[in-house]
Amino acid sequence: MIEKAKKYTVITGASSGIGYETAKAFAARGKNLIIVARRQDHLEALKEDILREYPTLDVIIQAADLSFMENVYQLYADLKAYALETWINNAGFGSYARVANQDLKKIQNMLRLNVEALTIFSSLFVHDYKDREGTQLINVSSCGGYMIVPTAITYCATKFFVSAFTEGLAHELKESGAKMQAKVLAPAATKTEFGKVANNVSEYNYDKLFGTYHTSQQMASFLLDLYDSNQVVGVVDRETFEFKLCEPMFAYAGNSAHNQKLQ
Amino acid sequence: MIEKAKKYTVITGASSGIGYETAKAFAARGKNLIIVARRQDHLEALKEDILREYPTLDVIIQAADLSFMENVYQLYADLKAYALETWINNAGFGSYARVANQDLKKIQNMLRLNVEALTIFSSLFVHDYKDREGTQLINVSSCGGYMIVPTAITYCATKFFVSAFTEGLAHELKESGAKMQAKVLAPAATKTEFGKVANNVSEYNYDKLFGTYHTSQQMASFLLDLYDSNQVVGVVDRETFEFKLCEPMFAYAGNSAHNQKLQ
């Protein structure tokens, strides 16, 4: 019988970058983990690393390509066997190109992963866990989810989606008296595999191509600050690179008399 | 041989509501039309209506469900036979429900139509026509694409995507010296089939459920004002219901020193 007393933190996109370091950071907090990514070998290496340092933790590997919705639903169904505490939608990628020239196959995968998989996981997790004390949903957006960045228009639009969806969900959970908290993390440039993938290159020099950036370890530590806080948004200032915790940033219609009346 | 000298205005979601009235409004301007929607019979009725009044116009019917990407690509391929002038991505629908309770099959269709189809059509049209004088891309967003509305969180997030994508594209086209203009229309409550579809009901009373709203004819006339202007955004104020034309509303990183350096 599967141990249901143990609680787990789910992290998508855990094979590298912010997701990888976030897994280590939650392990250091004594959290059991379910780590998700396409690359099974990377997940196995991460699991070994974590268990070497924290041998009593439980680390579950789930290898899946989340740009296919059948994998998204299958993964969620598989996780019904575990008691979840925190869900971190970190999987996602970018694309640097003008809209006129962008590779639509890549764009379609990006929309499915950054927008569709995130929406489905969020909705399912909220449906099942919103009334459990201590639960959190953390969606990784971007500074580009609050400010449009040249040559990354479609990527930024996916992150505007993530920011608006998650801020709106945070309002909804609070207003309905749910116990779950929904939060947005908005990193600026962070030294990960993002640059390579977004530019379709095999080498990417963050020192040359960005003046300033954070490391994945720094971003994982900011994510933990957000996790520990009661604020909804954790955002890096794109000019100063300072991290701050704050209330939702987008306008919210709240109790406007111009909303649809309750039926 | 197909007449390539004639230019066409493409309108998706033309079987009812804002799309239907926009088709009539462009016909009144003497524009040849390609009208797209799922319901062939509605499109045929619209075509008859238009030709009765403007018998010299050419009106092409394309019946397609744009929540399937194979239909999106097929439609665009079919339209290669015509010279296009204006593309209006109006097809889209909403969903009123809490995130915890939302119907994920409906949500997935909404994401595909509101986000994915719009992105693919926009990218293909910009790729082929951005350097042609007088071309315009008009994407229909919503007030909910600038302000999050309770119980319509995921819908609003799709419209934040549309607003950010289209504003970003407008910046990109201007900066690259393209001739095409990209514009966002952001209606507030408009009496259409939106209410029925968003609430899964067969009758919907706008007088009872919204204090104030526009008619589809009014919105089509606002859309024409946007078409005639050099502004990027045409938005209804959600409180006063006044329509205004303005510059992009989201923050834009422009020439920030913190953007990725050119490679």
Residue B60 falls within a domain, yes or no?
Answer: yes
Helices B153-175 and A153-175 pack at an angle, to 10 degrees, of 160
Q: Which neighbouring-strand residues pair with B61?
A: B35
Residue type, A94: G
> Looking at the complex, does the CB of residue A224 fall below 8 Å from at least one CB of chain B?
no
Residues 6+ apart with CB under 8 A from A174: none
- Lowest-confidence pick of A36-45, A59-68, B187-196: B187-196
Q: Is there a contact between A94 and A193 (Cβ–Cβ < 8 Å)?
A: no
Mean pLDDT score across all residues of chain A: 95
pTM above 0.90, yes or no: yes
Residue window 54-113, chain B: list those with CB within 8 Å of chain A.
69, 96, 98-102, 104, 107-108, 111
Q: For residue range B4-32, what is the model confidence (pLDDT) as tens digits?
A: 689 999 999 999 999 999 999 999 999 99
Residue A59 falls within a domain, yes or no?
Answer: yes
Residue window 38-57, chain B: list those with CB within 8 Å of chain A.
none
Determine the 3-state secondary structure of B1 from DSSP. Answer: coil
- A184, A231, A192: which is closest to A214 by C-alpha? A192
Q: What are phi and psi of B121, to 5 degrees?
A: -60, -45
Q: What is the CATH number of the domain that holds B73?
A: 3.40.50.720
Kindly report the nearest CA distance between residue A103 and chain B, in angstroms.
9
Residue A1 banded pLDDT, cuts 50, 70, 90: very low
* Per-residue confidence (pLDDT) for residue B4, from 0 to 100: 63
Number of domains in chain A: 1
- A181, A185, A164, A179: which is closest to A233 by C-alpha? A185
Mean pLDDT score across all residues of chain B: 95
Mean pLDDT across A158-186: 98
Q: Is the pLDDT of residue B237 over 60?
A: yes
Residue A217 falls within a domain, yes or no?
Answer: yes
**In Å, how far are A7, A179, A190 from A244, measured between CA atoms?**
29, 24, 16
* Per-residue confidence (pLDDT) for residue B2, from 0 to 100: 52
Q: Is the pLDDT of residue B48 over 80?
A: yes
Q: For residue range A129-155, what is the model confidence (pLDDT) as tens digits?
A: 999 999 999 999 999 999 999 999 999
* Per-residue confidence (pLDDT) for residue A5, from 0 to 100: 83
* Per-residue confidence (pLDDT) for residue B1, from 0 to 100: 46
Q: For residue range B90-138, what is the model confidence (pLDDT) as tens digits?
A: 999 999 999 999 999 999 999 999 999 999 999 999 999 999 999 999 9
Residue A160 falls within a domain, yes or no?
Answer: yes
Q: For residue range A85-99, what is the model confidence (pLDDT) as tens digits?
A: 999 999 999 999 999
Q: Using a pLDDT cut of 70, give the percent of chain B over it.
A: 98
Residue B210 falls within a domain, yes or no?
Answer: yes
Q: For residue range A191-231, what is the model confidence (pLDDT) as tens digits?
A: 999 999 999 999 999 988 888 999 999 999 999 999 999 99
Kindly report the nearest CA distance between residue B52 and chain A, in angstroms.
38
User: Higher confidence at residue A210 or residue B70?
Assistant: B70
Mean pLDDT across B83-89: 98
Distance between CA A99 and CA B119 in Å, rounded? 9
Q: Do A259 and B172 touch (CB under 8 A)?
A: no
Q: Do B258 and A115 touch (CB under 8 A)?
A: no
Residue B47 falls within a domain, yes or no?
Answer: yes
Q: Which residue segment(s) compose the domain that A76 sits in?
A: 3-246
Q: Is there a contact between B135 and B180 (Cβ–Cβ < 8 Å)?
A: yes
> Looking at the complex, does the CB of residue A199 fall below 8 Å from at least one CB of chain B?
yes
Residue A252 falls within a domain, yes or no?
Answer: no
Residue A262 banded pLDDT, cuts 50, 70, 90: low
Q: For residue range B198-218, what is the model confidence (pLDDT) as tens digits?
A: 999 999 999 888 889 999 999
Chain B residues close to A176, C-beta within 8 Å? 98
Number of A to B CB contacts under 8 A, please give it: 209
- B207, B242, B233, B67: which is closest to B141 by C-alpha? B233
Q: Is the pLDDT of residue A261 over 90?
A: no
Residue A218 falls within a domain, yes or no?
Answer: yes
* Per-residue confidence (pLDDT) for residue B211, from 0 to 100: 82
